[in-house]
Every structure is written in C-alpha cells, then in structure tokens.
Amino acid sequence: MAYQHAKAYQDLENCELIACADIKPENAQAFADHCQLPNTYLSHMEMLKKEDLDIVSVCVWPKLHAQMVFDCVASGVRAIHCEKPMADNWEDARLMVEKCQVAGIQLTFNHQRRFGLPFVKAKELLKNEEIGSLQRLEAACGDIFDYGTHYIDMFSFYNDDLPAKWVIGQIDYRKENLVFGAVVENQAIGYWEYENGVFGLIATGVGAKGVGAHNRLIGTDGMIEVGATDGSHLRIMRKNSSAWEVIDTNGENLHGPNYISRAIANLVESLESGVMPELSGKRALQATEIIFACYESSRRHARIDLPLTIDDHPLVSMIENGNLILESD
C-alpha cells in the first residue's frame, strides 16, 4: 500500500516525497530507490524528529496504527493518512480522532472505495430515486474488521453519513484467523438501524453467500447491486421489472483503478481548502463503531445501543479470557 500512496502523491504537482521509515533496512532502501527518496530511516520517530513534514501516510499493520498516529500528532504534522482498519481496539480508534481534532490535524483513513465509479454511480442512482426510498443496505465479505470496514463505510456513504442507533450481531470463531496480524472472525452476522430508519445488514465468512452481492441497496421501488453474482460491477432492477439492467462503470471494478490516487488528491485538496476530506476520521469512526459493536453484541448476547462505551476489542478479549474455544486439529 505504501507504494500506491507514494505514486498518488507523486502524481500531484504540489506534493514532494521527502522520506520514508521502515524497520527493515532493505525494505526502506528498496522503497527509497523506487520512489527516488532522498532520506530513509529505520525509525518513524527519528524521521518525525529530523524532517519537516506536512503529510504522513501510515501504511503498517492495524495494531501499529494508533501509536504511529499519536507520534505524528506530537510531531506537529499537518495531516495524517492512515490505512484501514483504524485500530485494534475501540479506545485507540476514538483517541486517534480526538487527538487530531484537538491538535487541528487532518486525519483520514483509506476507505478509497468512496471514489470508485461502481459505488459512486450506485449512490447517484439512489439519490435520483431510481429505486425509490432507501430501506435497507446489505453487504457480503470475508470478515467484518478488515474487509467489512470498507463496506460498512460504504453504507455510510450511501446513507449520507448518518450514525447508527443500535447494533446486534453474532460471530463464530472456532479456528484461528488472522489478517495482517489482526484477529478476525470465521463467520458473522450483523444488523443495525441508522437514525433515519434505514437498516444495515452484513454477512461474513460462509454466510456471505446468503447475501451474494458485495453491496445491495434495497428501496421501495427496486434494488441496486454492486459486485453482483453475474460478474457485473453495477446493476439495477427497477420497479415492475423482473430483469437486471447493467450500468457501465467505464472499466472500473470493486478495487480500482486509481481509487487511492483520487483519495489522496482529495485529502491534499482538503488540506489546502479547509473543507472536510471525504475520508475523514470522523466518518471512519462511524464504521468502526459498528464493527466493534457487532463484536460486543456477540460478547454480551444482547443488542448494543450506541454510542459504544467499551475500550477494548471484544473478540480479542473473548479469546484471551477463554470464552471462545478453538477447534483442535
């Protein structure tokens, strides 16, 4: 991801890459050679101390995000662009946003699908009332925490970034499952309601097949699917029709191309204009709250009314406390 971030900055006339930090010398040098960087460091703290940086991209595993963001805040940078998911516990996710707000630092998270044509056109169809009034949003993916953060964030994108009121969920964790060092469930189901009465539903693991499409927007007069089972990237079924209409997305799929470049161009423009960036920390926090609330609902065996009042990662705590027993091989 660091290489993709770097290319996006280099494509902008008003950005110059100055330095990188990596704990492995060979990785730092390879990146510096590729990007023609003048300076490399084996410690992000040393880089922050010695360089006068406006923007820092944090492209490490989730468990390292929070402390690196805190260190960037202390160094006085103007903006931080961090990979997702936000953090490996709810307290750190909140604190990342709070510390940046207090310091006046622009914080963004790389939910880059907000800049993809399949998703953008789906929202346009919705706002043009092509399927009537939005009733429910559905998503299917591998897990809630790593992949699901994209699609729960997309729900916010479709639904005008309104917060959720409550969340109920259940997870299954019978085999160890790590993604970029982060614990994720084997299977989950999550259901919640937004302030405007729209409902959200996500199914992960083998249960994702029950939803099928990566995203489904259900309205009073039809439905839209992004990443449909027929292989199309965007399609719509209108009222009184039994056939799907495929919408052209100009060759763009669920992953790109150029989504990260657009995201970084937006955050740079926002830093200059003072307008809230599309991928703001506040928006990312709404999706992250739903994620941790799904895990907390499974821990409590109850609906979770928001705002969320925990600090930890419920799935990790359940594993550490012996509440979840792994299957033996």
**Per residue in 139-163, pLDDT tens?**
999 999 999 999 999 999 999 999 9
pLDDT at 33: 96
DSSP for 200-262?
EEEEEGGGGGGT-SSEEEEETTEEEEES-TTS-SEEEEETT--S-EEPP-TT--SS-SSHHHH
Query: Can you state the percent helix, strand and coil of the chain, rounding each to 5?
Result: 40, 20, 40
pLDDT at 326: 82
Q: Mean of the per-residue pLDDT values for the chain? A: 97
pLDDT at 327: 82
Q: Where are the alpha helices (DSSP H) in 128-191?
A: 148-158
Region 118-135: mean pLDDT is 98
- CB 228 within 8 Å of CB 215: no
Amino acid (one-letter) located at 177: N
Give the domains, in start order, of the chain with CATH numbers: 2-112 (3.40.50.720)
Percent above pLDDT 70 for the chain: 100
- Model-level pTM? 0.96
| Contacts for 157-160: CB closer than 8 Å, 24+ residues apart | 157/114, 157/119, 157/123, 158/122, 158/123, 158/126, 158/134, 158/217, 159/134, 159/194, 159/196, 159/198, 160/196
List of residues 6+ apart from 329 with CB closer than 8 A: none
Region 246-274: mean pLDDT is 97
pLDDT at 329: 64
Tokens of 202: 């996500």
pLDDT at 71: 98
Tokens of 221: 């007069």
Percent above pLDDT 90 for the chain: 96
**Per residue in 174-197, pLDDT tens?**
999 999 999 999 999 999 999 999
Give the separation between CA 59 and CA 206, rounded to whole angstroms: 29
Give the separation between CA 284 and CA 156, rounded to whole angstroms: 9
Does residue 178 sit in helix, strand or coil?
strand
Beta partners for residue 138, in sequence order = 201, 216
**Per residue in 21-48, pLDDT tens?**
999 999 999 999 999 999 999 999 999 9
pLDDT at 323: 87
Beta partners for residue 21, in sequence order = 41
Evaluate if residue 206 carries a pLDDT over 90: yes
Closest CA to 84 of 108, 67, 106: 108
